[in-house]
Amino acid sequence: MEEQQPKTGKFALNYGLLLGVISVVFGVMLYTQKMHYERNTAIIVISIVIMAAVVFLAINAFKKANGGYLTISEALKVAVGAALIGAVISLAYQFVLTNFIEPDFMDKAIEMAKPKAMEQNPSMTEEQWEQGVEMQKSLSWLQYPIGLIINCVLGLILGLITGLILKKSKAEY
């Protein structure tokens, strides 16, 4: 009798939900500290470390459930699935935050970015700034598909690295 092989989708779903919840908690923490307007290097690195830890845990759990065996394709499926589900939950929180909790989020973020932008480009006129702001507002919906794509690519990279580290093939005989 053959033993049942675990499904990668189950692990991707469970750990994707975990990643999404942790990301939302991190987002709420940033919101309560009034740091949700910032996109500095430390916040990005922490987000990537959180994602890497959850992806590693997901792939390792799959490997244990699979009798200690793991192929790179299984690692990639688990990692990208978890990253995608985590991204959907995180982007849903971002949508709720920017449209319902704090509807003037975009205006405040632009207002906070203006001094730095003017400092970096002193020849920019007020009219050019306003044109850029209007263009940015009209294209703000692109953050959602771009966020999904970036998270999937990051999940792919993390899954490949973790898969290469944890890979163990069944003996072929």
3-class secondary structure, 70: strand
Q: Is residue 3 part of a domain?
A: no
Structural domain includes residue 133: no
- The 10s digit of each residue's pLDDT in 148-171 is 999 999 999 999 999 999 999 887
Are 55 and 155 within 8 A, CB to CB?
Answer: yes
pLDDT at residue 166, rounded to an integer:
96
Question: Is residue 91 one of the residues assigned to a domain?
Answer: yes
Place of tokens 């966020």: 147
pLDDT at residue 173, as a whole number: 66
C-alpha torsion sign, points 47, 53, 59, 61: negative
How many whole angstroms from its chain centre is CA 120? 29
Closest listed residue to residue 34, CA positions, set 108, 94, 100: 108
Evaluate whether residue 39 is within a structural domain.
yes
**pLDDT > 90? residue 111:** no
Domain that holds residue 59: 8-102+142-166
Average pLDDT of span 90-101:
96
Number of separate domains in the chain: 1
pTM value is: 0.91
**Integer-rounded Cα radius of gyration of the chain:** 20
Residue 44 lies in a domain: yes
pLDDT tens string 25-55: 999 999 999 998 888 899 999 999 999 999 9
